[in-house]
Chains A and B, each alone.
Chain A
Amino acid sequence: MDRRLRGGFLAIVVLGAAFSTQAEGQGTLVAATAADPQHFNPGITTASHTHAVADSLFNGLVALGRSAEAVPDLAQSWTVEDAGKVYRFKLASGVRWHDGQRLTADDVVFTFKEILLKHHARTKASLSPVVEDIVAPDDATVVFRLKRPYPALLQQLDVTEAPILPKHLYAGSDPNTNPVNLKPVGSGPFVLESYVRDDRINLVKNRDYFKPGLPAFDRIVFRVIPDERTAVLALVKGEIDFLREISVSDISLLRREGIVLDRVTSGAGGGNCIMTLGFNLERKPLADMRVRRAIALAIDRDRIERDVIFGLGRVADAPISSGIGFAHAYGLLAGFTRNIGAASQLLDDAGLKVGQGGIRFKIDIAHFPQFSRYSDAMRQDLAEVGIQLLPRQLDRAAMIDAVFMKREFDTTLIHYCNGLDPEIGVRRMYVSSNIAKVPFSNAAAYRNAEVDRLFDEAAAAAEPAARGRIYRTIQEILVQDLPYWWLVETDFVAAHRSTFEGFQSWRGQFAEQARAKP
């Protein structure tokens, strides 16, 4: 028995050795993704788990560089005419869909009119108010006519915001239920080969890709690994090569193991994100400005930067992210250093006296479970001024229901991503027309006619300098009113093995230019 056991054990070890020496296939990249994409149509959803995979199958009119500058993708050039009200795009020649059909301006017009402006929540919200018409004067030209100058347009035309879909497969169908969503035909650098739900997605190189010499990889395999810890260890061991988003707590381990880390300000779900405390202005005592100001003064944001995000980001110094340089109001929140005495005084003035057990009042805070470290830190801070913060951890569906549909919350913690222009992800938080039963809209239910007017004015101004001035005025008003309290700007960290280079981790289509190191 003993000997047999030992024999079996030996056999296992020998087999293990035999398999572990098997060399990795040339030109294959193994990437991990945390959740199944569920389908491959990036035009009908903004869900990051779909985009993480599907963006590699499609193209946008433009691509975005590391600092969000537009570079050619399907459009090889463009001109801006009529004082910023007309954009004329010239398409690259010889672009074919994965099924061999030619990609023309007709596909672009169809995609915007029938898919993106109806089914892509972010693009519809930002573009439908400004787009007058989109036309194709010939097969290789697309013209956007706008109702007013809209300088943020190019940043919303990349593959994540506006993937171009094949008209010949989507025309006349309901894009939500079209079976092509599971058998995608794109124009991108990779083609879907096979898909095993929740297990893996195999993409192979598009040999007829219109950009010569790209992509370098023969194959990308996405492994679905829901456990973050396992994914990190698999990266260390070499079972996977690329991980789009790692937690800060894993940084030192990965550095020690020689993994290359790439810090970027945007992830698959959006860019320039600020962890934000939203006050329900329809509830007492948060309707009182003094109470909101007291809470802002009582929260130790430096400690959040140090202990919660481990320095991976910075204390927010204005309502608009520092990643949108022309609009960011540098140092606007500098005066808000932690001041318990002033906070207590404000609460006393508001008539909220210290009661039994040193408590003035109780408020809840609704948030996703993964944000509990933030609410823990704030709970301790607020306890010092007699505010008892009661965390309510909710899953995504329940959170949307509680905060945006039923408005049953006192405060909420939301990771608002500003995007590349205030039009994309700032406006929605503040304008009164966006107090709606819509996820991640104006959670505070903030109403200020002046702010509404200024947002419209800023959107129409053509000059970045002029727009910046208006956004800075808006931010000054917001800091007076404090509908939200801006905690920290958070960065994203992508990680890959040192045998590869050229990943564009800030883009949905991260592997178009990546290759194995020579």
Chain B
Amino acid sequence: MARPIRGAGSSQAVTRGTAPRATLIALGRRAALGLFTIWLVATVTFVLVMAAPGDPAALLIGEDGDAQVQAHAAQSFGTDRSAIVQYAGWIARLARLDLGTSISYRAPVSAVILERLPATIALMLPALLLSSATAAILGLATVPRGESLNGRAAILMAAIVSAVPIYVLGHLFILMFSLKLGWFPMQGLSDPRSSLSGLLAVVETMRYLALPTATLAMSQFVVLWLFLRARAIEEISSSYLRTARAKGLTLAQTYRRHLWPNIRLGFLHFVAARMGSLLAGAVVVESVFGIAGMGRLVVSASLARDVPLVTGIFLMAATMVVVANIAADALTIFFDPRLDEGERGAL
């Protein structure tokens, strides 16, 4: 009598032990694939920038040209060596976690990139949260009127907003809220004439971030909203929602307890997948509002044909996207009740 019980117990223990390991192996596989992806992105970037017409040394020496001066500069920065030699050097340094030295800024690539992160995060993270939260609330709020006139009006408005280029949106905000109303500053992240510290400095930075964040969020939220709305409409006729309504829950309760948990994972993945678009939006927003972030760095580094810097940026960006995707997968595994342990292993 005792044996089967012990057997059952041990088999259960085995299941508990192997399933997380399978999960870890799956995640490990994802991580390895992720590393390969990062290397591939960086290498393709390297090749593309090297193949782009133009010599960085010609840009370094300025508006005028001189063959000897250019040759001097090329020698100083090592751009006179062959592409293969440069790539080999880059890989060798990368193995020591060294991204090399930026040609245009004459400083370590990692320092040039890292110093941009605070501004970029301060811009992108609130924009991401703001746009997803607005999209989630509006998306659910507009579901019941799915095919009604209101719903169409909402979609029409969405189409209009998403058709306005970010550049124009940014300048509209500047004209309205900065120049006319004077509520917010129009460029930079702090006032060059005064130096605040502590809480005041934080509040001031928030004031400077208001318009750029709103611009970036506005450019993102429409797509997120439409995605969520479409998913919600797909689900709306499901029997589980009818049942929930039938048992007496209000519409709001039904959405919060039953509909939202079923669509939030898809939404999360969608948001993660749009990181690239968010970064692209940040390029424009940072230029319009004069913010020294990653977006602008990509542009200036590319125009300067600064191979180590462009490659470093794309390596970091690829890492961010890969990590975001793995994190989203991990969240799926741990939070999706529909995946039983076997499926988690297979993921």
Contacts and interface: CB of A to CB of B under 8 A. Distances in A.
A459 to B, nearest CB: 18
Interface of B: 52-56, 58-70, 72-73, 76-77, 104-107, 112, 115-116, 119, 171, 174-175, 178-179, 182-189, 191-194, 203-204, 207, 210, 287-292, 296-297, 300, 303-305
B67 A25 contact: no
Across chains A and B, which 10 residue pairs bring their CB atoms closest together, nearest first? A397-B54, A46-B62, A439-B65, A176-B76, A401-B53, A198-B292, A199-B292, A47-B62, A438-B65, A221-B192
Most buried by A among B65, B116, B203, B288: B65
A174 interface: yes
A439 B106 contact: no
Given A182-B106, A234-B186, A269-B63, 5 more contacts: A16-B183, A25-B193, A121-B70, A176-B77, A402-B53
Nearest to B111: A197
Given A438-B66, A438-B70, A440-B65, A15 B179 contact: no
A120 to B, nearest CB: 7
B198 to A, nearest CB: 15
A46 B61 contact: yes
A5 interface: no
A226 B119 CA distance: 16
Interface string A53-94: 000000000000000000000000000000000000000000
Contacts of A231: 187, 290
B192 A223 contact: yes
Most buried by A among B58, B115, B193: B193
Contact of B106 (A48, A177, A405): A177
Nearest to A31: B192
Interface string A477-500: 000000000000000000000000
Given A19-B207, A233-B186, A45 B61 contact: yes
Contacts of B300: 35-36, 198
Interface in A421-464: 436-441
Contacts of A19: 191, 204, 207
B290 A230 contact: yes
Nearest to A177: B76
Contacts of B193: 24-25, 28, 30, 221
A121 B107 contact: no
B62 A45 contact: yes
A38 B65 CA distance: 19
Nearest to A441: B65
- Secondary structure at the A interface, as helix, strand, loop or mixed, is mixed
A165 B290 CA distance: 32
B288 A398 contact: no
Given A176-B77, A197-B292, A22 B69 contact: no
A263 interface: no
A241 to B, nearest CB: 10
Contacts of B64: 46, 121-122, 125, 439-440
B67 A438 contact: yes
Given A16-B183, A44-B61, A200-B192, A121 B174 contact: no
Contacts of A515: none
A226 B288 CA distance: 7
A396 B66 contact: no
B70 A223 contact: no
Contact of A227 (B73, B112, B184, B290): B290
B194 A15 contact: no
A334 interface: no
Given A28-B193, A46-B64, A38 B182 contact: no
A270 B63 contact: yes
A265 interface: no
Contacts of B174: 230, 233
Interface in A349-396: 395-396
B117 to A, nearest CB: 13
A436 B66 CA distance: 9
A199 B191 CA distance: 12
Contacts of B187: 223, 225, 230-231, 234, 239
Given A39-B106, A198-B300, A221-B192, A124 B66 contact: yes
